[in-house]
Amino acid sequence: MSESTAPEDRIDHILAAWKRERPDLELDHMGPMMRLAFVLQHVIMPAGEAAMAEHGLQQPEYDVLTTLRRSGEPYALTPSALSAELLMSRAGMTKRLDRLEAAGLVERTLAPGDRRSFRVTLTESGRKAADAATTAVAHRIGELTAKIPERELAQLDRALRSLMRDD
């Protein structure tokens, strides 16, 4: 189905209202971005969060566990490295680590060679939780993206990469 024959959606209605109220604005470029934001907020994020919840995790904890998991053996980072990787404050990281440590998913130990620094290490339970949740998330997102022809998905990927560049 071409763009011109695609059925109208809620974004079309919003843009039509703005065109009526502000005919001086060029709004055609906003449709794809508004759809992207809508799909992310109302389709992709809820699907991922539901998959995480099936494994007893919420997004903040999942982010920490998967950051440690993808760091490779021994699945350990300093709290400051985790904070930097996840773009969050150290105080916020401390709260997350407290919850994860209480659940037995991570452990904090003194860093070898520096008694003033700690390392956060994924426990075996944490690794299993991260792997199971990531498998579930990948499956859910795969189901969603299967609705998009491969060529279009590749085009979308290229377009989003263009937006991410720091030109």
Residue 76 placed within a domain: yes
pLDDT at 2: 46
Residue 148 placed within a domain: yes
Residue 10 placed within a domain: yes
- Give 39-75 as a DSSP string: HIIIIIHHHHHHHHHTTT--HHHHHHHHHHHHT-TT-
pLDDT at 1: 44
pLDDT at 5: 65
Q: Is 120 helix (H, G, I), strand (E, B) or coil?
A: strand
pLDDT at 167: 62
Per-residue pLDDT of the chain (167 residues; tens, 9 = 90+): 445 567 889 999 999 999 999 999 999 899 999 999 999 999 999 999 999 999 999 999 999 999 999 999 999 999 999 999 999 998 889 999 999 999 999 999 987 777 778 899 999 999 999 999 999 999 999 999 999 999 999 999 999 999 998 76
Expressed as residue numbers, the domain containing 143 is 3-159
Number of domains in the chain: 1
pLDDT at 19: 94
Instruction: Check which CATH number belongs to the domain holding 36 and give it.
Output: 1.10.10.10
Residue 39 placed within a domain: yes
- Strands 114-122 and 106-111, by their bridges, are antiparallel
Q: What is the DSSP letter of 114?
A: E
Residue 164 placed within a domain: no
**Global confidence as pTM:** 0.83
Q: Write the burial class of residue 44 (CB in 10 Å: 0-12 exposed, 13-18 middle, 19+ buried).
A: middle
d(CA 38, CA 35) in angstroms, rounded, equals 5
Residue 165 placed within a domain: no
pLDDT at 8: 86
Residue 94 placed within a domain: yes
First-last CA distance in the chain: 33
Which residues sit opposite 107 in a β-bridge? 121
